[in-house]
Amino acid sequence: MDVLAPMTLDPAMDTLMQRGAAFLGTRYAVLGGAMSWVSERNLVAALSNAGAFGVIACGAMMPDRLAEEIAATQALTDKPFGVNLITMHPNLMELVQVCLNARVGHIVFAGGIPPGPAIKAAKDGGAKVICFAPALALAKKLVRSGADALVIEGSEAGGHIGPVSLTVLAQEILPHIRDVPVYVAGGIGRGEAILSYLEMGAAGVQIGTRFVCATECVAHPNFKRAFIRGAARDALPTVQLDESFPVIPVRALQNEGTKRFLEHQAEVLRRFKAGEVAKDAGQLEIEHFWAGALRRAVVDGDVENGSLMAGQSVGMVTKEQPAAEIIAELLAQASAALTARRAGA
């Protein structure tokens, strides 16, 4: 398919993206989703160099390792990019300082409500803070706590997910949060969807699944092939076996690894009920399981036993393409839809 060059976009698209792009310091209001083992220096730099906003997935990295990844990314791009930090990380405050020392302009807090001291440290150090908001009440609380921007991510997304779809979250939150830019995420795979959310009031979008098959992404060829073969109905969330032991659902392509997780969850649940492991420790074990399973798939290429975390937009991933081409294609689709509407088509 012929893709419109980015500079030929409908001018109204620039207007719709203006606030979100200005906040990020980028040409386009498109953030890369932070995917562990995937969103590293190569993909992050490629997205930023293409006019979007790459985000390093810190995940379980320790401070020295994160400092190394930031420096390596800065060697590949002079454009803005951010770092995604998991709020439950035991070294969270040190990781914030690593970002500030490296002059990272945007810190994204994910995986829970960020502690006040972490937000304050980031802002005092000159970084802009982006937080995830799964409900309107929490969105308002995060803004009061100092968040400079929000991401609302629907259950269509890959990896750890909440219970509400983006379609509903957007209606619930976008009309009421105007003080800060709000970016939408979850299941976005075409430009027409980007346009619709921008027109609803979103400042921009966050996209992860579509970028897994970027040429610059270092994910194993087996991992990419699984995405190209996958359909929306193949990306399903895990189930929670007992409400007394809460487990955040994870959306992934179904395989043997999914079955192994259910067995692992059942064993941790048994130990919890027997008093052999505390709830927090058990939940951390489950997170470690996912980190290891994801690495097996992304790095080692074991797509049978590893975790294939993917959003429902995986069905729109049909080939491997350069990151810049994916971005241009998405924005060309949005621009074409806007132009066609204006022409009465």
pLDDT for residue 9: 75
pLDDT for residue 6: 44
Own/partner pairs, 122-131, CB within 8 angstroms, 24+ separation: 122/96, 123/148, 125/96, 125/97, 125/99, 125/100, 126/100, 127/99, 127/100, 128/23, 130/82, 130/106, 130/183
Please, what are the averages of pLDDT over each run of 10 residues along the chain (345 residues)? 50 95 98 97 98 96 98 98 95 98 98 95 98 97 98 97 96 98 98 97 98 98 98 95 90 94 93 94 88 95 97 98 97 93 76
pLDDT for residue 94: 98
Closest CA to 53 of 83, 82, 22, 93: 82
Partner residues linked to 53 by β-bridges: 31
Helix axis angle for 92-101 and 63-76, nearest 10°, is 30
pLDDT for residue 187: 97
| CA distances (Å), origin 316, targets 17, 187, 213, 232 | 23, 10, 11, 8
Rounded CA gap, 286 and 320, in Å?
32
Amino acid at 314: V
283 C-beta neighbours (distance < 10 Å), count: 18
Residues sharing a CB contact under 8 Å with residue 163, sequence separation 6 or more, in sequence order: 155, 249
DSSP secondary structure, 143-180, as one string: HHTT-SEEEEE-TTSSEE--SS-HHHHHHHHTTT--SS
Assess contact for 239 and 259: CB atoms under 8 A: no
Closest CA to 86 of 124, 46, 36, 127: 36
**pTM to 2 decimal places:** 0.94
Tokens of 220: 């194993």
pLDDT for residue 4: 37
- Collapsing DSSP to helix, strand or coil, 250 comes out as strand
Q: Where in the chain is the domain with CATH 3.20.20.70?
A: 11-219+315-344
- Collapsing DSSP to helix, strand or coil, 189 comes out as coil
Closest CA to 44 of 22, 14, 66: 66
250 C-beta neighbours (distance < 10 Å), count: 21
- The secondary structure of residue 214, as a DSSP letter, is B
Rounded CA gap, 129 and 124, in Å?
11
pLDDT for residue 344: 76
Assess contact for 36 and 13: CB atoms under 8 A: no
Q: Which CATH number fits domain 11-219+315-344: 3.40.50.170, 3.20.20.70, 3.50.50.60, 3.40.50.970?
A: 3.20.20.70
